[in-house]
Amino acid sequence: MAIGLPKRLLTTAATALLLAAGLAACGDSAEPAGAPKTLTYWASNQGSSLDADKQILQPELDKFERQTGIKVTVEVVPWSDLLNRLLAAATSGQGPDVVNIGNTWSASLQATGAFIPFDDATIAAVGGKDRFVPAALAAAGAAGKPPTAVPIYSLAYALYYNKKMFADAGITAPPATWEDLVTAGRKLTGGGKWGLAVEGANISENAHHAFTFGQQYGGEWFDAAGKATFDTPQNVAAIKRYIDFMAVDKIANPSNAEYAQNQSVSDFANGKAAMLLWQAAGSALKAQNMSPDAYGVAPVPFLASPPSGGKRVNSMVAGINMAVFKHTKNRDAALQFVKFMTSDEEQVILNRTYGSLPSVKTVAGDAAFAAPEQKALAEVLGSTAAPLPQVPAESQFETLVGTAMKELFADAASGKQITEEMVKAKLTNAQQQVRS
């Protein structure tokens, strides 16, 4: 019983406890010299689950340890947490050595200065600039600055179409223009089925389409000085074209306006919709029991007669980059690991597993990427894909324009007529909220 103990003893014990707690908090966690090097790696969620990713990555990390003696501890971070976790690590100067980042964050994260820039010497240490697919490397930081990361998985948008539904409707070839897509969509819509599935409440998806359509109409979301130019006539026309699939053409189910959890992929896989614009949907479709024979993959359509200034772009350069934190105590080991993950062998193994494309040119011709889906994606990535604006305010574009489009879809779904004035008003409102 505490009451029976001498007070002095209690006081001493309490003091000791506090001191011990304080000392432990101050303890230095640096490794003693000569110990085997350990790296911490935050991987992004590329497979069907966090566990699946861990099981895919672990054998490769073991291989790396056998080759170099460097142990890599991996944590797969879900997308919903990744950016917040990266920011916390950047702010505190503590955290992992090597991380995966979504390539659209490159310029924003570059501005934090938290990552080692891949200048000529650094990029040479991981195999050299010329190894990488130029489009993918262009999405790794602002133009004119050394990339803040190097690409490891590349993706592009494509048009996925249900072969049987196309055959039943008497459509022989996938549409190459938006006009054809609408014609085909009208034939395919009816009886509870729809021509096209869109992910109307998903802000990022919306913003990605805003970019592609904007490019085709000759619009830019930021000017050369990095200032937002959301409400130009070109951008208004571009957004209206996309929303009109639901509002005017009525080839997309109004319910799609509330889709934000990849329900459009499910609708396509279940035959409720005949077409889908998505990036590397193959593995997701397989997970929902849609056989690769059941669908075709074609490039995202273009405008039949593009306006002046319209660009021949039908996808963003989508993908994942790998970056090294400046605060790492094992810079050389971290770069060695980046080199390993972007080596020919690992690029084939990992991208084959994830259904993405290699970010290095040397293995582009590998048999692992000869499936129709990968061939179509590689074709787009190599010729008609462009990176999203590499400016620090890019995330504001995604949030504000993506949200404006979500609201327009909601209006369209409730039967409101979508006019150019409405689109322009939404985009003007979004633009006014951009902080520079």
Partner 1 sequence: MTATTAPDRLRRPATPPRAPARPARRTRRSLLPYLLLVPAVVLELGVHVVPMVVGVWMSLLELTQFHIRDWSTAPFVGLDNYRATLDVDTAAGQELLHSFWVTAAYTVASVGLSWLLGIAAAVVLQRPFRGRAFLRTLFLTPYALPIYAAVVTWSFMFQRDTGLVNQVLLDTGITDHRPFWLIGGNSFVAVLVVSVWRSWPFAFLCLMAGLQNVPDDMYEAAYIDGAGFWRRFQYVTLPMLRPVNQVLLLVLFLWTFNDFNTPYLLFGGSAPPAADLVSIHIYQSSFIIWDFGAGSAMSVTLLLFLLVVTAGYLFLTRRRRSDA
Binding site for partner 1 (CB under 8 A): 7, 10-11, 14-15, 18, 21, 87, 90-91, 93, 108-109, 111-114, 201-203, 253-255, 257-258, 260-261, 263, 392-393, 395-396, 399-400, 402-403, 406-407, 409-410, 413-414, 429, 432-433, 435
Long-range contacts, 46-55 (Cβ 8 Å, 24+) = 46/153, 46/320, 46/354, 46/356, 47/283, 47/353, 47/354, 48/283, 48/287, 50/76, 50/78
In angstroms, give the least distance from the CB of 318 to partner 1. 19
In angstroms, give the least distance from the CB of 252 to partner 1. 13
Per this entry, what is the length of the chain?
A: 436
Residue 193, strand partner residues? 190
In angstroms, give the least distance from the CB of 25 to partner 1. 10
DSSP state of 252: B
DSSP letters for 262-289: SHHHHHHHTTSEEEEEEES-HHHHHHTT
In angstroms, give the least distance from the CB of 96 to partner 1. 15
Q: Which is nearer to partner 1, 58 or 261 (CB)?
A: 261
In angstroms, give the least distance from the CB of 372 to partner 1. 31
In angstroms, give the least distance from the CB of 398 to partner 1. 9
Q: Which is nearer to partner 1, 201 or 386 (CB)?
A: 201
Residue 258: burial class (beta carbons within 10 Å; 0-12, 13-18, 19+): middle
Q: Which is nearer to partner 1, 90 or 169 (CB)?
A: 90
Paired sense of beta strands 38-44 and 98-102, if any:
parallel
Q: Which is nearer to partner 1, 80 or 305 (CB)?
A: 80
> ∠ at Cα 64 (63, 67), nearest 5°?
90
Q: Which two tokens stand for residue 236?
A: 């208004």
In angstroms, give the least distance from the CB of 173 to partner 1. 30
d(CA 371, CA 290): 16
Q: Which is nearer to partner 1, 185 or 402 (CB)?
A: 402
Q: Which is nearer to partner 1, 85 or 311 (CB)?
A: 85
Q: Which is nearer to partner 1, 303 or 425 (CB)?
A: 425
Reference 69, options 333, 304, 310; nearest CA is: 333
In angstroms, give the least distance from the CB of 113 to partner 1. 5
88 to each of 82, 97, 431, how far by Cα in Å? 10, 14, 28
Reference 103, options 381, 308, 416, 433; nearest CA is: 381
Q: Which is nearer to partner 1, 103 or 342 (CB)?
A: 103
Q: How far apart are the first and last CA of the chain?
A: 64
